[in-house]
Amino acid sequence: MNNPITDQVKKEARKLQRQLTEHNHRYHVLDDPVISDIEYDQLLQRLIEIEKEFPEFSTPDSPTKRVGASPLSAFEQATHSVPMLSLDNAFKDEDVIDFHKRCIKNLNQENLFYIAEPKLDGVAVELKYENGVLVQATTRGDGTTGELITQNVRTIRSVPLKLHEAKFEAPSLLEVRGEVIITRSDFDRLNKIRLENEESIFANPRNAAAGSLRQLDSKITATRPLDIFVYGTGIAQGISFQTQSQMLEALKEFGFPVNAHIKSGLSIESVLTFYKELEALRDSLAYEIDGMVIKVDDISFQRQLGEKIKSPRWAVAYKFPAMQKTTTIKDIIVQVGRTGILTPVAILEPVNVGGVVVSRATLHNEDEIKRKDIRIGDTILVMRAGDVIPKVVKIIESQRKENEVSFKMPSHCPVCHSKIQKTKLDKSIINKCVNASCQAQLKERIKHFVSKKAFDIEGLGKKIVDQLVDEGMLKSFSDVFLLEKEKLTGLDRLGEKSATNLIHSIEKSKKISLRRFVYALGIDHTGEQAAKLISERFLTLKEIMETSEEILKEIKGIGPETASAVTQFFSNLENKGIIKNITYSDVIITNDQPSYTEFQDNLFANKRIVLTGTLQTMTRSEAKKQLEKLGANITSSISAKTDFLIAGEKAGSKLAKARKFGIAILDETQLTALLKENV
Ligand code: IVH
């Protein structure tokens, strides 16, 4: 018998399930949420309550299933209906051309069109949907048999538990294949938390994804930042595709994340050009890729070409150079930084990592060396990620010969020999040389002073600064302006012409903006952005030197550490003398930023603005310039302090984040209108 109350509850449960599924997809796949996290959690909580009281209303595709189920004692095995093959590798253009020649010969075609996709560096999975509902998920395993990880995969927010049926009806059976990944930033965050909890850290995002997927307790998987991109299908009943591109379009319609850097309709020449483009993009992607997968786009051609035992004849993986390599540690030296902090650095047997020869890797600090048990003579795995300094991932224990030498932090500065001071910062011990006139610190301070974002003295490179300090020609910042051509000529690496050019760039650098000047001083906690914010608040250096910590703290974006470091720096007598000497060397400090007060009556004045997406009528840097003219502070990441997000086309996660924080969002039309109004 129907009970009107339970009918009502059932209706509510179904509505909540629908709403939550939609919000989840908007957030995790489209990057376009329309409700806040709190509102989402409230809806989810209500659904959890209903399903607890009326378990009969809970379905396998209910969003409540994403929190994890009861732990398993072991994984069950499952055989793939269609084997999950691997790919043949190509390492150079000729290998790809050979692949192309084989394809056109076998198909008896003049030419062929290809689709090229990033080769995602994660864990391959297969998701089985019966009548549109996710019923099973498996790992690739040995290609024939994998492990059942259904409960774990249900916790991945970007995996649809039910197919979207906006454009196509759900097929009776669809097996979808893809790669589970963890983004670089999520990986860093995950490892940071693991370190804080004294748990072992993951070597790379792929290991982290694999480890997270192989949890018997899916509640643990639910806490891991797993994501997915899909790239293919296994069995499909009730739907068919003519091309791989069509298949990807359909998968997108069904609600799956499909990678954005995919190109189709490519000739083999364009495939090779795209490979270069993708390689250039590699370091800037949010996730790791290790190559490009080239596929014959036409599926009937794929069928004709067929498969070998382990890999298809219609696809090839054009690999990028590896980002992790093994090498040995020849020595561990200690570097003294600008602020006196000692950093141990591993001197490596040079090795090519992802196209760059690496001969040094930072070891961060003493604790890190202890934690990873790094010794001189060890064989190690070294990693380069993006433009970050190479780092030692781990030692290869099986290569230990037991004649490796442990490292000990010196008790005295390796350069000036003064006693090292140990201080605690967060959980690590910092070793610091506190002798302000230490030559090593002086060298680093001067390098910073003349660097591109500071005085920008072209021709005064690191090696020349080292030489000039060693020769006693640079003892302080102001000595840079006393350098003479005659004395420079004859130094290593400096001929007459370079010396003339150097003197010329020193002269040119003497006219400097206030923000660059403040940055050049190398004050603790005062990077480019802080220097900019401070210089915008004051008209002259004198004003900054005389201001108080309280006033500095009032500047939006200036924290207490910077405020205190700046006032301490300027109250120090020695520093006052240094600044006096610089200004006596004919250095002219200009404040090209209109002053703080001049900015007050426009909408963008003193506002923190982030730009994202593609603009049509101007480039992002033009927009940045125009906004800066009006006194805006352009920052690169969204925080609660951001005032506006300017969102161009294809704005992604920043847009989602801005919505989450409730930050005002302007599109290009609004921006151009407001810029006009405010000029
Ligand atoms: S296609 C038969 N496409 O690479 C076709 N695979 O070495 C094989 N992979 O196990 C899969 N990104 O885990 C394909 N865009 C992509 C891929 C991709 C990563 C992985 C996948 C597969 C391995 C083959």
In this prediction, residue 352 carries a pLDDT of 87
In whole numbers, what is the pLDDT of the chain averaged over residues?
91
**CA 384 to ligand 1 center in whole angstroms:** 23
Q: Is the pLDDT of residue 649 over 60?
A: yes
> What is the CA 162 to chain-centroid distance, rounded?
31
Beta strands in 121-262 (DSSP E): 123-130, 133-139, 145-147, 173-181, 227-237
Closest CA to 112 of 292, 240, 259, 304: 304
pLDDT band at 679 (very low <50, low <70, confident <90, very high): low
**CA 136 to ligand 1 center in whole angstroms:** 20
Residues 118 and 292 sit within 8 Å (Cβ to Cβ): yes
In this prediction, residue 48 carries a pLDDT of 93
Averaged pLDDT, 201-225? 92
Q: Is 120 in the pocket of ligand 1 (CB under 6 A)?
A: yes
**CA 14 to ligand 1 center in whole angstroms:** 36
CA distance 257 to 158: 7
Q: Is 124 in the pocket of ligand 1 (CB under 6 A)?
A: yes
In this prediction, residue 637 carries a pLDDT of 81
**CA 321 to ligand 1 center in whole angstroms:** 17
Burial state string for 620-641 with b = 16 or more CB within 10 A and e = fewer than 16: eeebbebbbbbbbbbbeebeee
- In sequence order, the β-bridge partners of residue 356 are 353
* Cα angle value 444/447/449 (rounded, 5°): 110
**CA 86 to ligand 1 center in whole angstroms:** 7
The residue type of 467 is Q
Averaged pLDDT, 519-539? 92
Q: Note the pLDDT tens digit of each residue in 149-161.
A: 999 999 999 999 9
Within 10 Å of residue 41's Cβ, how many Cβ atoms?
10
To test the pocket of ligand 1, the residue of 99, 114, 125, 231 to mutate (highest count of ligand atoms within 8 Å of its CB) is: 231
Residues 134 and 126 sit within 8 Å (Cβ to Cβ): no
In this prediction, residue 109 carries a pLDDT of 96
Q: Is 305 in the pocket of ligand 1 (CB under 6 A)?
A: no
**CA 244 to ligand 1 center in whole angstroms:** 13
Q: Is 178 in the pocket of ligand 1 (CB under 6 A)?
A: no
Q: Is the pLDDT of residue 599 over 70?
A: no
Residue with the smallest CA separation from ligand 1 atom 9 is 119
Mean pLDDT lowest for which of 386-390, 491-495, 591-595? 591-595
User: Highest mean pLDDT: which of 188-202, 357-371, 414-428, 592-606?
Assistant: 357-371
**Burial grade of 419 (CB within 10 A; 0-12, 13-18, 19 or more):** exposed
Residues 567 and 593 sit within 8 Å (Cβ to Cβ): no
Q: Is 87 in the pocket of ligand 1 (CB under 6 A)?
A: yes
Q: Is the pLDDT of residue 1 over 60?
A: no
**CA 358 to ligand 1 center in whole angstroms:** 29
CA distance 25 to 32: 9
Give percent of the chain above pLDDT 90. 67
Q: Is 117 in the pocket of ligand 1 (CB under 6 A)?
A: yes
The pTM is what? Answer: 0.63
pLDDT band at 597 (very low <50, low <70, confident <90, very high): very low
pLDDT band at 655 (very low <50, low <70, confident <90, very high): confident
> What is the CA 176 to chain-centroid distance, rounded?
28
Higher pLDDT: 549 or 621? It is 549
Q: Is the pLDDT of residue 641 over 80?
A: no
In this prediction, residue 425 carries a pLDDT of 74
Q: Which domains, and CATH codes, for the chain?
A: 4-62 (1.10.287.610), 77-319 (3.30.470.30), 324-433 (2.40.50.140), 439-590 (1.10.150.20), 597-678 (3.40.50.10190)
Q: What angle in degrees, to the nearest 10, is found between the helix axes of 620-629 and 668-678?
A: 30
Beta strands in 249-298 (DSSP E): 263-266, 289-296
Atom of ligand 1 nearest to the CA of 177: 11
Burial state string for 447-485 with b = 16 or more CB within 10 A and e = fewer than 16: bbbbbeebbebebbeeebbbbbbeeebbebbbbbbebee
Phi first, then psi: what are they for 86, rounded to 5°? -105, -170
Q: Is 232 in the pocket of ligand 1 (CB under 6 A)?
A: yes
- Helix, strand or coil, per DSSP, at residue 9: helix
What separation in angstroms does the CA of 533 have from each of 89, 132, 515, 541, 620? 51, 54, 8, 13, 21
Which residues, in sequence order, are CB contacts of 183 under 8 Å at separation 6+? 205, 225, 227, 286, 287
- Biggest CA-to-CA distance, the chain: 104
Atom of ligand 1 nearest to the CA of 311: 2
Active site residues: 119
Q: Note the pLDDT tens digit of each residue in 555-584.
A: 988 999 999 999 999 999 999 999 999 999
Q: Is 115 in the pocket of ligand 1 (CB under 6 A)?
A: no
Q: Is the pLDDT of residue 595 over 80?
A: no
What is 579-604 written as a DSSP string? HHHHHHTT-EEE--SPPGGGGTTSTT
Averaged pLDDT, 420-426? 85
Residue with the smallest CA separation from ligand 1 atom 2 is 85
pLDDT band at 600 (very low <50, low <70, confident <90, very high): low
Residue with the smallest CA separation from ligand 1 atom 24 is 86
Q: Is 48 in the pocket of ligand 1 (CB under 6 A)?
A: no
Q: Is 119 in the pocket of ligand 1 (CB under 6 A)?
A: yes
Q: Is 313 in the pocket of ligand 1 (CB under 6 A)?
A: no
To test the pocket of ligand 1, the residue of 85, 86, 313 to mutate (highest count of ligand atoms within 8 Å of its CB) is: 86
Averaged pLDDT, 240-267? 96
**CA 217 to ligand 1 center in whole angstroms:** 27
Atom of ligand 1 nearest to the CA of 118: 15
Q: Note the pLDDT tens digit of each residue in 53-85.
A: 999 999 989 999 888 888 888 899 999 999 999
Atom of ligand 1 nearest to the CA of 262: 15
Q: Is the pLDDT of residue 389 over 90?
A: no
Q: Is 89 in the pocket of ligand 1 (CB under 6 A)?
A: no
CA distance 525 to 560: 10
In this prediction, residue 614 carries a pLDDT of 85
In this prediction, residue 186 carries a pLDDT of 93
**CA 235 to ligand 1 center in whole angstroms:** 16
Within 10 Å of residue 524's Cβ, how many Cβ atoms?
13
Beta strands in 410-522 (DSSP E): 420-425, 428-433, 511-513
Give percent of the chain above pLDDT 70. 97
Q: Is 317 in the pocket of ligand 1 (CB under 6 A)?
A: yes
Q: Is the dihedral of CA 388, 394, 395, 396 positive or negative?
A: negative
Residues 503 and 485 sit within 8 Å (Cβ to Cβ): yes
pLDDT band at 362 (very low <50, low <70, confident <90, very high): very high
Within 10 Å of residue 229's Cβ, how many Cβ atoms?
22
Q: Is the pLDDT of residue 361 over 70?
A: yes
**Burial grade of 492 (CB within 10 A; 0-12, 13-18, 19 or more):** exposed
Which residues, in sequence order, are CB contacts of 421 under 8 Å at separation 6+? 431, 432, 433, 434
- In sequence order, the β-bridge partners of residue 174 are 129, 236
Q: Note the pLDDT tens digit of each residue in 439-469.
A: 999 999 999 999 999 999 999 999 999 999 9
Q: Is 395 in the pocket of ligand 1 (CB under 6 A)?
A: no
To test the pocket of ligand 1, the residue of 88, 179, 227, 307 to mutate (highest count of ligand atoms within 8 Å of its CB) is: 179
To test the pocket of ligand 1, the residue of 80, 82, 87 to mutate (highest count of ligand atoms within 8 Å of its CB) is: 87
Q: Note the pLDDT tens digit of each residue in 326-340.
A: 999 999 999 999 989
pLDDT band at 105 (very low <50, low <70, confident <90, very high): very high
Closest CA to 643 of 662, 623, 671, 630: 662
Q: Is 231 in the pocket of ligand 1 (CB under 6 A)?
A: yes
Would you state the structure tokens that stand for residue 105, as one six-digit string? 């010969």
**CA 141 to ligand 1 center in whole angstroms:** 13
Residue given tokens 């794929």 in the structure block = 302
Averaged pLDDT, 252-273? 96
**CA 87 to ligand 1 center in whole angstroms:** 7
Residue with the smallest CA separation from ligand 1 atom 3 is 231
In this prediction, residue 261 carries a pLDDT of 95
CA distance 515 to 638: 23
CA distance 529 to 535: 10
Q: Is the pLDDT of residue 136 over 80?
A: yes
Residue with the smallest CA separation from ligand 1 atom 16 is 119
